[in-house]
Amino acid sequence: MTVQPAPRPATDPSPPAAPDFGSLVREDRVHTSLYTDPRIFATEMDKIFANTWVWVAHASEIPAPGNFKTAHVGTQPVIVTRAPDGRVHVLLNRCRHRAGSVCEQRAGKASVFVCPYHGWSYDLTGRLRGVPHASGYDASFDKKDFPLVNLRVEEYAGLIFATLRADIQPLEAHLGRACKWIDLFMKQGAGFPIKAGGAHRFRFRGNWKIQLENTTDAYHFPIVHRSFLTSLDGETEKVFDVLGQGGWVEDLGNGHSVMVMIPDLVDLEHNLEAPIPERFQALADELALEHPPEQVRRIVRAVGGSGFNVNIFPNIACSMAFFRVLRPVAVDETEITHMVITMDGGPPAANRARLRLHEHFQGPMGFGSPDDAEGWERVQRGAAAGTDLWVMLNRGKERDVSAETGMRAAYQMWRRMMMA
């Protein structure tokens, strides 16, 4: 017997009503659909990533006029350039003629970006310079009408942010109480300028907010990273006992938060008289050959990074010793960049130590990151079940480092922006 398939409707049924975003976020929980619903993801790109300050670069990545890097604002590709006058421009990476991307390099030096399709060329500020065979356009055609789209750009402490909005508050006001923590974080240059010195990139099959939560989640650390902790000597293992040192989490407003795991390493310019940890003694001895004792102490105290993560909503964290950047790719795919921090012009031995410490935990084969990525994929896989259930964020009280305070702060900002 053959079964006839049901006749297809002449037109697709009308899409279900848009989710009621306000009802999906409560004080202590968020709805599972925030990880899984493609309509929510599309709205996030519009209501969040196109509506606030999004981190695009560290100033050291484009140190001189002509330097550029490519980045994303949400899912939109951009080019971050330093123009001849030293100013930073963030340009949509899309030719104004027929939409070809004008730059496919991760970073480099250039004076002009040329669309490979019909040869329209743009300078570092986005101005349209050349149009081949311009006689084919009528007299009303004016190159001034077709620059690469410039985003608004502001910088704080070397962190370069861009926004598609001309009318939102200045960056520093948006960062607010996070500024103090960013300033503390930058002390790990130990007197040298901070340099973003290379990066690990990896993707996981999961929603971007799973990563957003993770940088303010101390609770997972001793569980997920047991194999990292086991690889450490006893003294270093104590340093990474993140739940046992009286740390805390603070809501800093606008979705930002700070998680202090090692209170002793909040201010790297304090307590310089503390004894040099055994794990850094060989480095200290090497530095002592060329640097005065006070500078050796300052560098060694800073070399392992800060004792906290400051999470800036929606896409950057200054995380202990590195910058963590998240890029939403799809509702169930996210790209993470972990940028190592070095001291620009600092002692090579100390910078090598920073590189090796970063490699130890971070990256696709680090002793920590692959387990994080696996955990996040397990969240996305699990979220396919119990679609009416909630993701719980009700852990913790005042002054508890494993409290889910930072996640609650981020989701309240999410709610505010999605309902605006």
How far is residue 258's CA from residue 265's CA, in Å, rounded to a whole number?
13
Minimum distance of other proteins from residue 353's CB (angstroms)? 7
- The span from the CA of 152 to the CA of 90, in Å, is 7
Task: Please identify, using beta-carbon distances, which residue of 183 and 237 lies nearer to other proteins.
Answer: 237
Is the Cβ of residue 126 or residue 366 nearer to other proteins in the bound state? Answer: 366
Nearer to other proteins, 118 or 352 (CB): 352
Alpha-carbon dihedral sign for residues 331, 182, 397, 26 = negative
From the CB of 363, what's the least distance to other proteins, in Å? 5
Q: Least distance to other proteins from the beta carbon of 332, Å?
A: 13
Q: Smallest gap, in angstroms, from Cβ of residue 357 to other proteins?
A: 7
Nearest to 120 by CA among 90, 92, 100: 100
Residue 267 identity: D
Q: Name the residue with tokens 């356009």.
A: 137
- The residues that touch other proteins, with contacts defined as CB under 8 A, are 106, 197-204, 224, 226-228, 230-233, 236, 279-280, 282-283, 335, 340, 348, 351-353, 355-360, 363-365, 367, 369-375, 377-378, 381
- The residue written with tokens 């790719």 in the block is 329
Residue type, 65: P
Q: How far is the CB of 374 from other proteins (least distance, A)?
A: 4
User: In this structure, what are the phi and psi dihedrals at residue 409, rounded to the nearest 5 degrees?
Assistant: -65, -45
CB of 202 to other proteins, least distance (A): 5
Q: Which is nearer to other proteins, 270 or 381 (CB)?
A: 381
Closer by beta carbon to other proteins, 83 or else 224: 224
Q: Compute CA distances 215 → 40, 257, 317, 374, 413, whole Å.
A: 22, 10, 7, 15, 16
Q: Which is nearer to other proteins, 128 or 353 (CB)?
A: 353
CB of 281 to other proteins, least distance (A): 8
Residue placing its CB nearer to other proteins in the complex, 173 or 384: 384
H or E element: which one contains 79?
strand 76-82
Residue 399 CA, chain-centre distance (Å), reads 25
Q: CB-based contacts of 1: which residues, under 8 Å, 6+ apart?
A: none
Nearer to other proteins, 131 or 243 (CB): 243
Q: Which is nearer to other proteins, 149 or 229 (CB)?
A: 229
SS3 (DSSP) at 318: strand
Least separation, in Å, of the C-beta of 286 and other proteins? 11
Q: Taking the complex as a whole, how short is the minimal distance between the CB of residue 267 and other proteins, in angstroms?
A: 22
Separation of CA 192 from chain center: 23
On the question of a cis peptide bond just before residue 314, with omega within 30 degrees of 0, the verdict is yes
Euclidean distance between CA atoms 55 and 151, whole angstroms: 12
- Residue 248: count other Cβ atoms within 10 Å of its Cβ: 19
Residue type, 188: Q
